[in-house]
Amino acid sequence: MAKRYAEIIKAAIIGYMSLINIHYGSGGIYSTDLLNA
């Protein structure tokens, strides 16, 4: 249960960072790094 909860949080953080990158037009560099981490 805790592991699944952590995965949900990680996905939410990645999504949030992706939205920030899209909003500021940074090219999604940070979101790509998070997905590859």
Q: Where are the alpha helices (DSSP H) in 1-37?
A: 2-24, 29-36
Comparing CA positions, the residue from 22, 24, 23 lying closest to residue 32 is 22
Give pLDDT tens digits for 1-37: 789 999 999 999 988 888 777 666 655 555 556 666 5
Between the alpha carbon of residue 5 and those of residues 1, 14, 23, 36, the distances in Å are 6, 14, 27, 20
- At 5 the pLDDT is 93
